Every structure is written in structure tokens, then in C-alpha cells.
Amino acid sequence: MQIHDTIAGLRAALKNAGRVALVPTMGNLHEGHISLMEQARSHGDAVVASIFVNRLQFRPGEDFEKYPRTFQADCDKLIAAGVDHLFAPVETEMYPRPQGYTVAVPKEQDGILEGEFRPGHFNGMATVVMKLFQIVQPDTALFGKKDYQQLMVIRNMVQDLNLPIHIIGGETIRAADGLALSSRNGYLSPDQRREAPRLFETLTKVVDALRHGNIDFPALERDAAIQLRNNQWQPDYVAIRKKSDLQLPAAHDSGLVVLAAARLGSTRLIDNLEV
Ligand code: PAF
């Protein structure tokens, strides 16, 4: 695997690389990321991973400083997964001056769910993804469905800005007990780690109820949040939404997704299940 820390070096290496598949990450790689790298192989002659902890998408007081940086272990995993190129710039390579031009995510996507609880997060995320797209110029880019709203924002950005990039969403990879793999799981204490699968179990119950024809969405969301609260969680939301645009569904809409974000101690976890 070639490791590039400059944009010029990466661009030179990709000049005659053929079709390029990109998997952007912030590092601290787990099986979820590796599964995207493996899928990328069938979409590109060259598979490029990026590792960059993007300050712009963290709010003040969030975990930018303590976000786990595990570069050597990440490189070992990428080599084992057969990745061809790693782009791992330092901050001044990506942001040599304060970022003036940014991507503004429309209110109907930025003002709901994660956007409501993390104002500015999606603008920062979309800005760095746009920069990565310009730098790497991939034919295909892959993102995990665990960050469901992020995937939707990226798909819409690509469509609205006519970027010639095929976006692929990879299925969420879970631990044996159901917990969705996430870099933030590493913040959990042993007791919290034992409790953490409740988020998935709670979503599963909502999905089961929906599949059995229960369409009282507010009651299902409320009961799920209560179940979490009764077990020491602080939920930001449990929400039943349309998969297509994450807006509120009408009673008999199909194509639903149930999304949740909740804090266990100081760790904020998100998860979702398609119905
Ligand atoms: O999902 C992530 O790891 C990040 O949000 C991304 C897409 C790499 C942008 O920084």
C-alpha cells in the first residue's frame, strides 16, 4: 500500500490508476470500515482509503481532541484488506488556511435528527467529503449505512452538484450481541459495553411492531425512548422516518427507517434499522 500525505503525491500516483474507488474514514478502523474496503475492490482498479479526523464536523465540546488516532494499527488493517493507496494528510494539507468556501446542507436535511442535535456537523462533513472528492476524483465512493443521514446528505450533494461519482452504502456491521461497530464504542466502560446492545434491541422492537402493522408512530417512538431512559440512557431521539428523505411518514407509507441517538454516560451512540 502506498501512503500519501500530500494532495500532489496522491494525484500523481492516481494519474493512470484506472477506475478509482474511495472509502473516506476518520481512522480507528473496525470491521465496518474493512467491509467497505473489500466492497470497494469490485468497483475500482485502485482502492483508496483516506484517514483524516475532520475538525470542521466536530462541535465545540465534542470529542475531536480525544477521537482515537490509531494510525499504525489502521495501516496494518488496510494492508491486510488489500487497499492500494492511503491518503492521510495532516490538517494543514487539507486546510492550509481557514476554509472560506463550504458546503451548506439545506435546512430540511441539516435541521433534523443528527443535524438538530449537532448543528453545523453536516456542513463540516459535506465540506470535507467534497474536498476529498475533488482531491481523489473517485468514480465510486463508499460510506456505511450506520451514519444513515450522512449517507443521505452525501447522495443529495452528489446529485445536486452533478458530481460524476457513484455512491454506495454499505450495511452496518454489528458485534455478536447486536451493537453496531463504531469508533466511539471504545469510550464505553465494561458495564456500559454490556448495556450498549439495548440500542439495537430497542430499534428491533420498533421495527417488529411496524412490521406487525402498528402505525402509531409517536407512541412507538415514545415507548422506545422511555425504555432507553429507564435503563440509564439519555436519548436525543428515536424517530421513524421515510428512507427516501428522512421526513415524517404518513400512516401507510412504506420504505421506513427507524433511527436513534442516545447517550450512555458521556458516550453518544447512533444506530438505525431499515424496516
Ligand atoms: O463517517 C466518517 O468517518 C466521516 O464523517 C467522513 C465521511 C470520513 C468525513 O469526515
pLDDT truncated to tens, each residue of the chain (275 aa)? 999 999 999 999 999 999 999 999 999 999 999 999 999 999 999 999 999 999 999 999 999 999 999 999 999 999 999 999 999 999 999 999 999 999 999 999 999 999 999 999 999 999 999 999 999 999 999 999 999 999 999 999 999 999 999 999 999 999 999 999 999 999 999 999 999 999 999 999 999 999 999 999 999 999 999 999 999 999 999 999 999 999 999 998 999 999 999 999 999 999 999 99
Q: How far is the CA of 51 from the centre of ligand 1 (A)?
A: 9
Going by C-beta distance under 8 Å and a sequence separation of 6 or more, which residues neighbour residue 217? 240, 248, 249
Q: How far is the CA of 26 from the centre of ligand 1 (A)?
A: 6
Going by C-beta distance under 8 Å and a sequence separation of 6 or more, which residues neighbour residue 116? 237
Ligand 1 neighbour 25 (Cβ under 6 A): yes
Q: How far is the CA of 218 from the centre of ligand 1 (A)?
A: 31
Query: In this predicted model, what pLDDT tens digit does every residue of 84-142 receive, in sequence order?
Result: 999 999 999 999 999 999 999 999 999 999 999 999 999 999 999 999 999 999 999 99
Mind telling me the catalytic residues?
33
Picking from 209, 208, 226, the residue whose alpha carbon sits closest to that of residue 262 is 226
Decide which of 3.40.50.2300, 3.50.50.60, 3.30.1300.10, 3.40.50.720 is the CATH code for 183-274: 3.30.1300.10
Q: How far is the CA of 108 from the centre of ligand 1 (A)?
A: 21
Mutate which of 55, 95, 129 for ligand 1 pocket (most atoms within 8 A of beta carbon): 129
- Report the C-alpha dihedral over residues 94, 95, 100, 103, rounded to 10 degrees: 30
Residue in the structure block whose three cell numbers are 440500542: 199
What is 2-170's CATH superfamily? HUPs (3.40.50.620)
Q: What was the pLDDT predicted at 54?
A: 98
Q: At what angle do helices 148-160 and 121-136 cross, to 10 degrees?
A: 60
Q: What was the pLDDT predicted at 181?
A: 98
Q: What was the pLDDT predicted at 246?
A: 97
Q: What was the pLDDT predicted at 93?
A: 98
Q: How far is the CA of 177 from the centre of ligand 1 (A)?
A: 25
Ligand 1 neighbour 114 (Cβ under 6 A): no
Residue closest via CA to ligand 1's atom 8 equals: 25
Maximum alpha-carbon separation in the chain = 57
Q: How far is the CA of 216 from the centre of ligand 1 (A)?
A: 34
- Enumerate long-range contacts of 268-271, CB under 8 Å, 24 or more apart: 268/184, 268/236, 269/180, 269/182, 269/184, 269/185, 269/196, 269/199, 270/114, 270/146, 270/147, 270/182, 271/146, 271/172, 271/180, 271/199, 271/200, 271/203
Atom of ligand 1 nearest to the CA of 24: 8
Reported pTM: 0.97
Domain residue ranges of the chain, discontinuous segments joined by +: 2-170, 183-274
Q: What is the mean pLDDT of the chain?
A: 98
Mutate which of 22, 28, 128 for ligand 1 pocket (most atoms within 8 A of beta carbon): 128
Q: What is the C-alpha separation between 67 and 57, in angstroms, rounded?
A: 12
Question: Regarding beta strands 256-264 and 233-242, do their DSSP bridges make them parallel or antiparallel, or are they unpaired?
Answer: antiparallel
Residue closest via CA to ligand 1's atom 3 equals: 25
Q: What was the pLDDT predicted at 152?
A: 98
C-alpha cell at 143: 460510506
Ligand 1 neighbour 125 (Cβ under 6 A): yes
Equal CATH topology for 2-170 and 183-274: no
Atom of ligand 1 nearest to the CA of 129: 9
Q: What was the pLDDT predicted at 274?
A: 98
Ligand 1 neighbour 128 (Cβ under 6 A): yes
Residue closest via CA to ligand 1's atom 6 equals: 25
Q: What was the pLDDT predicted at 59?
A: 94
Atom of ligand 1 nearest to the CA of 53: 10
